[in-house]
Amino acid sequence: MRVVRVLGTAGLLCLTAFGCGGRSSVNQSSTPPCETRVPAEHPADTVTVVVFDKIDPTHAPVPQNREERFVFSHLYETLVNIDCYGDVQPALAKSWKEGSDGWLIELRDGAQFWDQSPVTSDDVVRSFDPAIKRGLAITSVDIIDRRTFLVKGVRGAPDIKLLALPMIAIRRDSDSGPPMGTGAWQFNSDIPVAESVVIEPVVTALGPVVRFVQANPTDAKDLVAGAADAMITDDPAAIDYARERHTTMAPLAWDRAYVLVAPMRGSAAELPQRVCDALARDAVRIDSRGGSNILNASQSACAMSVSDMEARGSFSKSQLFFDSDDTTARSLAERIVALAAMDTASSEEARAIRAAVPGFGPSLRAIALKRPAASERAPFPQLAVANYVRSLSWYRDFPCLGSSFMRDMAWLASLRPLSIAVLPLVETRAHFIAMSDRISFTVDASGHVYLVIAGRETKS
């Protein structure tokens, strides 16, 4: 994990990385090998997956939460995929060749949407356009012919791995519902099930039909022993209970990072990994904390700029805010407060906290803050004079991390010439739990889980 410093300067929000311990804090021993297949001993025509956040097909193919990411990844394809070794693999793109000003890409033979219409370069242009307008570090897609096009970056060819982002999955608008995809699964809106979303194979004779049913998060542990076939959850009690019952499970991809945002004059020191481990020890399960580089990866994905604003007054080190409805943020904030209050002569962790954020001390207090709804787009005026433990969602905030900061924390731009230190504390993830032997799926070491269509031996 890394420390990211955000500097408010004239017209530019800069992200600069520093090491934070230099290694992952997660124990990777439980991670399955690449492309593990979990077969269905008793395959069923219909299976049920319990989720705890809403799946809205109108968001497709750009997920807003981990449940949507799971579902949409079955329905929509990107130009390339990243395998669990970090290598780029073909998806809708048959080939790609780097040139001086971009990637020359050819679509795979026979690529088609659910209605069997062919995928064309025009579809790629339309699919990329919203992401380019949001700030993705791709300037244009230039059509060469019906199946060949040139993807240009801000400075020549962009990072090829950007082409695997869900926000640029290839789709075509539909008159009757969500956009059409090219995946082996599709939405089925003809099966009325309250509070659920249904998907089925494009070749419907293969099966199974998969129902995603939303439930109350407080019931997660009880549902482990229920009638559902699988569950997506980050609830520690449910995960422990499933493990005790020897239930098959797989950790999903890292999708949330908790950071400490601290305005200061001067430089922020890095947090040693042992301090990150101590902060997270009881706040997050050991196999759900760690562990990737989503903060780093976001820096190369987007170009970020803000208008210069007049600098505002001073800031205080006596308050540490956290989101009132986020129990992990609360636990992390309380641990920071406890360490800051300890005698630095007897506590190495206390010395590290004081060094990382000069001014933290025994007077520091943790304060719950009700975060405005995303639709309100309101800044936090209190935070112009305080510190903040907040979560960054892979779905809401990535890959354009800087844009997210400016959207939710407009006060960052107004603190010039103060520096804003963004210190990563912990990253978290959920688990896919298979409670029955009626569901088949593949899972790789990157945390990508794919349901398997009957009769197919590879991921779909």
- CA 276 to CA 380: how far, in whole Å? 26
- CA 392 to CA 425: how far, in whole Å? 11
Q: Are strands 46-51 and 230-233 parallel, antiparallel or unpaired?
A: parallel
pLDDT reported for residue 308: 29
Q: pLDDT of 149-190, one tens digit each?
A: 999 998 889 889 889 999 999 999 998 889 999 999 999 877
Element (H, E) at 12: strand 12-19
pLDDT reported for residue 19: 32
Cβ-based burial of 367 (10 A; exposed 0-12, middle 13-18, buried ≥19): middle
DSSP code of residue 34: T
Q: pLDDT of 261-295, one tens digit each?
A: 877 666 656 778 788 888 888 778 777 776 555 55
Cβ-based burial of 204 (10 A; exposed 0-12, middle 13-18, buried ≥19): exposed
pLDDT reported for residue 383: 47
CA 257 to chain centre: 8
Quick one: pLDDT band at residue 395, thresholds 50, 70, 90?
confident
Architecture of domain 31-56+185-253+430-460: 3-Layer(aba) Sandwich (3.40)
Delimit the CATH 3.40.190.10 region(s) of the chain: 77-182
155 vs 16, residue with greater confidence: 155
- In the block, tokens 């950007």 appear at 162
pLDDT reported for residue 98: 95
Beta bridge partners of 321: 367, 388
pLDDT reported for residue 294: 58
Is 77-182 a CATH 3.40.190.10 domain? yes
| pLDDT at 409 exceeding the cut of 80 | no
